[in-house]
Structure 1
Amino acid sequence: MTHIGIIGGSGLYEIEGLEGATWQEVETPWGAPSDAILTGTLEGVTLSFLPRHGRGHVHSPTDVPYRANIDALKRIGVTDVISVSACGSFREEMAPGHFVVVDQFIDRTVNREKSFFSAGCVAHVSMAHPTCPRLAEYCFEAAEAAGVTVHRGGTYLAMEGPQFSSLAESRMYRESWGADVIGMTNMPEAKLAREAELCYVTVAMVTDYDSWHPDHGAVDITQIVNILQGNAVKARDMLARLPALAGATRAPCPHGCDHALDFALLTAPDKRDPALVARLDAVAGRVLG
């Protein structure tokens, strides 16, 4: 059965028609997730919402408990994860108020735990294509139906933060590296979702042009807040249309997201650390059994 998990701002779960919505605390071997998870149903499809920074925005991008968040979603039965994230744009045509359905990442984060696996149980998953094309298409169609100007495909530069880019960095990311949008939160989230065999996609909501843009300094915080609020309304409209596209009955991922660990484990069974294996019960229980 389809169970969609949504990671993003706390306002996203205010979707009209969400039935039986209740908050639940989820314990994980990786600590507490960012917040409790709100789960309800819409058109027969289960939706779960996890505020990435916690309600009230208490976690910085570096301090978000990414492993606990992904484990918690997997643990409650989520099959598909949609990350909804504010971002800056490196492209004139990807203007504030537009959405970008991301299909590639450049990871520039340095202070975060990036894997569920380590000494005692080693695994290597492919990140060549880090998002799920099927889930991306659902999001693109839902955004279009909601009247959003949406771009299919784009490269997301994940920076450590919490400071924003210097002008030199912004120009390098845009001109030399070919990035399209920039944010602080989708890595290692996408890597962990792949390790947990979850379909994953990022919908990046553009709030501003990064510092490369000659008019960047003319944008004040009031304008950005207005765009943020408008993007949240658009995101709710998009998310409300996803159940009809995904359907309640879920076929296996045709791109192999839900079997990402089939050939990833390298540590011999008799050499695996039992304590680590126990922590991997939700994430990798299918292959560690």
Structure 2
Amino acid sequence: MARDRILVVGANGALGQALLHELGPMRAIAATRPGRTALSGFAHVELDSDGLPPVGALADCRAVINAAGMVRGTGAELEAANVALPQRIAQAAKAAGVQKLVQVSSFAIHGIAEHIDGDAAEAPINAYGRTKATADALLLAQAADDFAVECLRLPFMFSTTKPALLGPLLMLASRLRVLPTASYPPVQRSMISYAGAARQLVDCARTAASGKAFAADPLLFDYRLLASVLGEEAGLKVRLLPVPAPIVAGVNRLLPAVGRRLFRSSILDARLNRGDGETLGLEEELRQLVRNRFGRH
């Protein structure tokens, strides 16, 4: 039997479902924890108590994409989900003759870096980033001539149904009709939709490359774009409110998490972006999110 399938671990999550849609029922096998459901029409297997996929499912696959993980939790929970589980999956895949493991990684490994380029340090500021960095190092050490491992580091992800941190920002803009932004330099962020991330992960699974990789939509998110979309798609006139540097500094000192979200850029160097300029649907997804949330006035 040809090994032509791709096993998606964490297939019940937002990214996992996007991966299934990208692959289609003929190429994907959905793997979830016991009791979790996958999208209808897809082959579905359950992980065992240690989080391992069935050997029979691995025997049909040329690649595994691990989209399972945990963003919040205790240190022990994050270690188990983000480090121990990927290690076990990689070992099982390698032993079963799978050609490649693609690990979903994160820009969080680089902490508060405002520009992520080839020289960006790995300087995570929380347990999530630290466990992701540890997992990348351990997984890449398992790469061999017959087993490729690629860790794809991704920025903030969102979709029309999973806006995450964009949800509070949209609420703020709709209620106050302003978006607070640093006076200088303007805040810009690399982001990616779940569908765009899935496209890049599937493309990783098709290659024999090992190592760290990065992907983001080439279109940078900024408040000017958001204000424009809110006006065009929902009829909401939102103005940008420049916040003086001393106030920004005060927010960063007293409420660092809020400051990072509102006033700090996070930009992937275009030379590192494996998408090579390919549009990944960020603006289209943002427009649909606004239409779903507010409708046209």
Q: TM above 0.5, one fold?
A: no
Structure with bigger helix share is 2
* Larger relative contact order (Cα-Cα within 8 Å, sequence gap ≥ 6): 1
Higher radius of gyration, 1 or 2: 2
TM-score normalised by L of structure 2:
0.37
